[in-house]
């Protein structure tokens, strides 16, 4: 492009607000309105409320007290325990879930499309089921009596009865197993789409060179699905840090707060103890932590990734 013409051309383009531009804004207005009303406004309101000792009629401005109360270390401040529990849950569930989803996707791929669809539907079903309904079923599976399904199954192998949800040794493990077995439908579908996008010529070339199956996965598939892996990792971490339903329905945060997650803590402060301002402060802190982790993940893994 002629350098002397560039700025004048850009200026002319800037000045022309065409009809198409207008329609473009109109079409994105729907999504923007929904975003502003249901996401942006609540976040701004939460930030505002976090500086108050909130009461429905007559809140009291307390400045940063809610934040200092949250972050002040004390043996009886549940925030740090909840943060640790959430971190442990995330560090175990997210990578294992990704690995499981990737493995299942690779196993599904060789099948015909119709068979693939059947498997995809089966794995996706838990994602559309009600979380409450799922939790009720899992409560039945985790029945601590000797007649509970898991206990009966383990009994065949001589394993003694486990107090699944009532013992600190098994309560977090129970939630992790539940998460791993019921929440990777979306990841599988996403991975399959990514795998289908890999050009066959790479595999043909690898076969000519005598590559084994695992070598193809390691040197061709895994690097080429890296953008998808990064996306699923970031969204997985975000979702795991916000986990609430599992802990609320299955254990109530116990025993001994061993399964109290930050999401549950925020819920309890807001709706059990009516400390709405404190709950908002904790939610904002959680948001900042999640944002920082997402940035960190992109910096670490996303250097050579383009979407």
Partner 1 sequence: MKKILAIVLSAILVLGMFSACGSSAPAETQAPAQTPAPAETKADAPAETAAPAEPDTIVIMAPPVTGSYLENLKKWAADFNAMYPNLTVEIIETSWDEHNGKLSTMAQAGEAPDIAEISSGALGTYVEMGVAIDIAKYMEEGRLNDYDANALAYMSLEGTAYGLPLYLTIQSIGANKTLMEELGIDVQKIQNEGWTYEEFLDVIKTGTTDSRYGFVFANSGVTASDMLYMFGAGVGLSNTFTPELKYAFTSENMLILLKAIEEMTGSGYMPNFGVEAGQRMVMCQTGNAMIFGKAMPLFEANFKKNNAALEANDGTAVEGSQKMDYAFLPVPTMAGCAESCYGTVDGLIAMRNKDTTDEHLKNVLLFMDYICSGDRIAACMNDLYLDPVCQSGRDALVLEEGRDENNLATAGRCIAMVQAPPAGVTAEMTATAKQLMDEQIVPKFQLLLAGETTAQDVYDHICEAAYAAFGQDNCAQGMLG
Q: Report the interface residues with partner 1, using CB under 8 A.
A: 23, 26-27, 29-30, 33-34, 37-38, 54-58, 74-76, 78, 139, 143-146, 161, 163, 165-169, 251-257, 268, 270-274, 276
Min separation Cβ 25 and partner 1, Å: 12
CA-closest candidate to residue 98, choices 300, 291, 298, 235: 235
- Which CB atom, from 144 or from 287, has the smaller least distance to partner 1? 144
Which CB sits closer to partner 1, 94 or 247?
247
Whether 93 contacts 179, CB under 8 Å: yes
User: Among 80, 42, 58, which Cα is nearest to 289's?
Assistant: 80
Residue nearer to partner 1 on the CB measure, 155 or 252: 252
For residues 48 and 219, which CB has a smaller minimum distance to partner 1 in the complex?
Answer: 48
Let me know if 233 is exposed, middle or buried by CB neighbors in 10 A (0-12, 13-18, 19+): buried
Q: Give the nearest distance from C-beta 52 to partner 1 in angstroms.
A: 12
* Closer residue to partner 1 in complex, CB, 38/214: 38
Shortest distance (Å) from residue 124 CB to partner 1: 24
* 264 φ, ψ (degrees, to nearest 5): -70, -40
Backbone angles phi, psi at 43, to 5 degrees: -65, -45
CA distance 196 to 113: 11
Q: Which is nearer to partner 1, 165 or 237 (CB)?
A: 165
Minimum distance, C-beta of residue 211 to partner 1, in the bound complex (Å): 49
CB of 198 to partner 1, least distance (A): 35
SS (H, E, C) 285-300: HHHHHHHHHHHHHHHH
Bridge-based pairing of strands 60-61 and 52-53 is antiparallel
CA angle 157, 158, 161 (to 5 degrees): 110
- Label each residue of 124-169 as H, E or C: HHHHHCCHHHHHHHHHHHCCCCCCCHHHHHHHCCCCCCCCCCCCCC
CB of 265 to partner 1, least distance (A): 9
Smaller CB distance to partner 1: residue 7 or 58?
A: 58
Burial class (CB in 10 A: 0-12, 13-18, 19+), 294: middle
Angle CA 300–286–131, to nearest 5 = 100
Taking the complex as a whole, the smallest distance from the CB of residue 103 to partner 1 amounts, in Å, to 34
């Amino acid at each position: 492009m002629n350098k002397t013409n560039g700025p004048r051309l850009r200026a002319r383009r800037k000045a022309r607000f065409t009809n198409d531009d207008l329609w473009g804004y109109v079409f994105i207005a729907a999504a923007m309105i929904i975003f502003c009303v249901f996401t942006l406004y609540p976040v701004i309101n939460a930030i505002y409320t976090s500086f108050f000792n909130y009461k429905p009629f007559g809140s009291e401005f307390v400045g940063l007290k809610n934040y200092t109360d949250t972050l002040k270390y004390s043996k009886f401040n549940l925030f740090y325990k909840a943060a640790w529990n959430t971190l442990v849950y995330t560090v175990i569930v997210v990578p294992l879930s990704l690995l499981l989803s990737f493995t299942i996707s690779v196993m599904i791929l060789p099948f015909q499309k119709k068979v693939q669809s059947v498997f995809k539907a089966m794995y996706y079903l838990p994602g559309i089921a009600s979380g409450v309904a799922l939790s009720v079923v899992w409560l039945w599976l985790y029945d601590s009596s000797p007649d509970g399904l898991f206990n009966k199954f383990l009994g065949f192998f001589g394993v003694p009865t486990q107090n699944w949800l009532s013992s600190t040794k098994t309560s977090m493990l129970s939630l992790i197993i539940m998460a791993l077995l019921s929440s990777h439908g979306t990841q599988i579908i996403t991975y399959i789409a990514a795998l289908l996008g890999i050009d066959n010529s790479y595999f043909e070339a690898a076969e000519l060179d005598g590559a084994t199956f695992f070598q193809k996965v390691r040197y061709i598939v895994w690097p080429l699905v890296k953008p998808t892996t990064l996306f699923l990792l970031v969204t997985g971490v975000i979702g795991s840090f916000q986990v609430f339903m599992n802990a609320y329905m299955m254990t109530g945060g116990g025993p001994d707060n061993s399964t109290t997650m930050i999401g549950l803590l925020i819920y309890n402060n807001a709706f059990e103890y009516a400390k709405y301002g404190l709950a908002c402060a904790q939610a904002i802190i959680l948001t900042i932590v999640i944002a920082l982790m997402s940035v960190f993940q992109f910096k670490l893994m996303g250097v050579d990734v383009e979407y």
